[in-house]
């Protein structure tokens, strides 16, 4: 500990720290709150964006930093070496859960990720007895933890930091798209659970039935999901659309410019643990039309407009109603501003510190006892369980301990 301080440290551990994403913003926000409260607090990762590497430590250094009275805030994603190292240490642990996308969304477009998500949800159960408390960053995520078997759960609210949006908009983006056309915007990774094909179909209906002078801007990373991107481009070609633009990764200044020129934010995602771009659009005063799935209604909290049927014509009619009626748009923006004010009023720092202090002051559950091949045994058990579900006859034919040899 620094300066001989005997106070427990509160460190964070996660697989990777990404630049500009929701989890990255939350991790840095947590560290800021903890350090301001006087805790030693470092971020241990397996990998990090090169721009954030100076803010992190290698997960293997956890072994040297470990103390039985320290607390690890473990951001669980899909399992990692960092996670498994933290699991075996004597430090106390609290889980922070951002949700794991159901693997069926990635079957056929990214087999490796489908397998990782499947195994990640199973591996998560190994932490039920390891963690003092499991915190979701939304009520939807807390309920998911409860359904998985966690008994001590809570919500650590996401209070987005909008500093990255208080920048001068990129002038090149503005020159390209700030014209008399209507700009429909989606922001997020180009990934299958976002159902960008449904965004494209709704835009096609709007473009065809109501406004040919409109374009769709899809702002987000598509690397590693080239197969899914190819399927979206095939759909665009089949619909004979020429006004759909994929931007890939953008800078903060470019992101600000895209929000500035947007007339409507359209979301069709079917699985979200929170969905930060929705409240970014609120902050940037862009009316939002979003599919009412998973955490989206709670995140919107009465702001924007929700739809429940994925009929492209119906969605297009909603788009036209919002975009053609200035009074309706003003009402929507007012409700979004009120929802944003409620979100920003949540006591993120106070909630975090209360949870930390409650854990540190309570009797601990006990020191984890992890044998050297714990995770190999865990993986083998999970593979057998998958076999039992998928190939039950083959599973029954496997030898047991009582089978003569």
Q: What is the pLDDT of residues 196-222, one digit of tens each?
A: 999 999 999 999 999 999 999 999 998
Q: Looking at residues 350-371, what average pLDDT do you find? A: 84
What six digits make up the tokens of 401? 């301990």
209 in helix, strand or coil? helix
**Cα-based torsion angle of the residue sequence 336, 337, 339, 344 in order, rounded to the nearest 10 degrees:** 140
What strand order describes the sheet that includes 92-97? 57-58, 43-48, 10-17, 71-76, 92-97, 133-136, 153-155
pLDDT category at 372 given cuts 50, 70, 90 is very low
Would you tell me how many other CB atoms lie within 10 Å of the CB of residue 103? 19
Q: What is the pLDDT of residue 19?
A: 78
**Cα-based torsion angle of the residue sequence 224, 227, 228, 234 in order, rounded to the nearest 10 degrees:** 140
For the segment 44-101, what is each residue's pLDDT rounded down to a tens digit? 999 998 999 999 999 999 999 999 999 999 998 777 888 888 998 999 999 999 999 8
Q: Which residue has the higher pLDDT, 108 or 206?
A: 206
Q: What is the pLDDT of residue 367?
A: 65
The rounded distance, in Å, linking the Cα atoms of 319 and 130 is 48
Q: Which residue has the higher pLDDT, 200 or 106?
A: 200
CA distance to 45, 56, 89, 133, per residue, from 160 (Å): 22, 21, 31, 23
Mean pLDDT of the chain: 89
Q: What share of the chain is helix, strand, coil (3-state, %, to 5)?
A: 50, 15, 35
pTM above 0.75, yes or no: yes
For the segment 232-285, what is each residue's pLDDT rounded down to a tens digit? 999 999 999 999 999 998 999 999 999 999 999 999 999 999 999 999 999 999
Walk me through the domains of the chain, giving residue ranges and CATH numbers: 2-159+347-370 (3.40.50.2000), 166-344 (3.40.50.2000)
φ/ψ region of 188 (left if φ > 0, alpha if ψ in -120 to 50, else beta) reads left
288 in helix, strand or coil? strand
**Sign of torsion over alpha carbons 125, 272, 195, 21:** negative
Percent of the chain scored above 90 by pLDDT?
70
Q: Looking at residues 291-303, what average pLDDT do you find? A: 97
Burial of 59 (0-12, 13-18, 19+ CB in 10 A): buried
What six digits make up the tokens of 138? 């939304």
Report DSSP letters for 330-370, one per residue.
Answer: HHHHHHHHHHHHHHHTS-HHHHHHHHHHHHHHSPP------
Q: What is the pLDDT of residue 1?
A: 43
For the segment 124-178, what is each residue's pLDDT rounded down to a tens digit? 888 998 999 999 989 999 999 999 999 999 999 888 789 889 999 999 999 999 9
For the segment 16-29, what is each residue's pLDDT rounded down to a tens digit? 998 777 788 889 99
pLDDT category at 224 given cuts 50, 70, 90 is confident
């Amino acid at each position: 500990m620094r300066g001989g301080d005997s106070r427990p440290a509160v460190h964070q551990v996660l697989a990777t720290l990404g630049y500009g994403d929701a989890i990255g913003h939350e991790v840095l926000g947590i560290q800021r709150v903890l350090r301001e409260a006087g805790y030693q607090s470092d971020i241990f990762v397996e990998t990090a964006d090169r721009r954030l590497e100076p803010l992190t430590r290698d997960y293997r250094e956890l072994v040297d930093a470990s103390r039985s009275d320290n607390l690890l805030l473990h951001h669980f994603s899909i399992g990692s070496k960092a996670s498994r190292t933290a699991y075996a240490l004597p430090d106390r642990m609290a889980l922070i859960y951002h949700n794991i996308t159901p693997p069926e969304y990635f079957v056929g477009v990214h087999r490796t990720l489908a397998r990782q998500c499947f195994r990640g949800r199973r591996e998560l159960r190994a932490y039920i007895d390891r963690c003092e408390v499991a915190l979701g960053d939304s009520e939807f995520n807390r309920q998911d933890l409860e359904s998985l078997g966690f008994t001590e759960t809570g919500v650590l609210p996401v209070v987005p930091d909008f500093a990255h949006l208080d920048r001068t908009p990129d002038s090149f983006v503005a020159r390209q798209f700030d014209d008399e056309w209507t700009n429909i915007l989606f922001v997020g990774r180009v990934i299958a659970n976002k159902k960008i094909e449904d965004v494209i179909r709704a835009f096609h209906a709007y473009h065809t039935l109501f406004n040919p002078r409109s374009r769709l801007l899809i702002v987000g990373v598509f690397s590693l999901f080239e197969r899914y991107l190819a399927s979206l481009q095939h759909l665009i070609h089949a619909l004979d659309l020429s006004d759909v633009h994929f931007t890939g990764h953008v800078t903060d200044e470019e992101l600000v410019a895209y929000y500035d020129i947007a007339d409507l934010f359209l979301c069709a995602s079917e699985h979200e643990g929170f969905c930060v771009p929705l409240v970014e659009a609120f902050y940037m005063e862009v009316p939002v039309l979003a599919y009412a799935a998973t955490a989206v209604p709670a995140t919107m909290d009465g702001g924007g407009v929700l739809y429940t049927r994925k009929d492209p014509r119906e969605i297009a009619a909603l788009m036209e109603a919002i975009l053609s009626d200035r009074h309706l748009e003003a009402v929507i923006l007012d409700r979004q501003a009120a929802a944003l004010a409620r979100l920003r009023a949540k006591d993120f720092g106070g909630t975090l510190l209360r949870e930390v202090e409650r854990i540190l002051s309570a009797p601990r559950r006990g020191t984890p006892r992890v044998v050297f091949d714990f995770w190999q045994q865990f993986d083998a058990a999970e593979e057998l369980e998958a076999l039992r579900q998928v190939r039950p006859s083959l599973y029954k034919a496997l030898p047991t301990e009582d089978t003569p040899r």
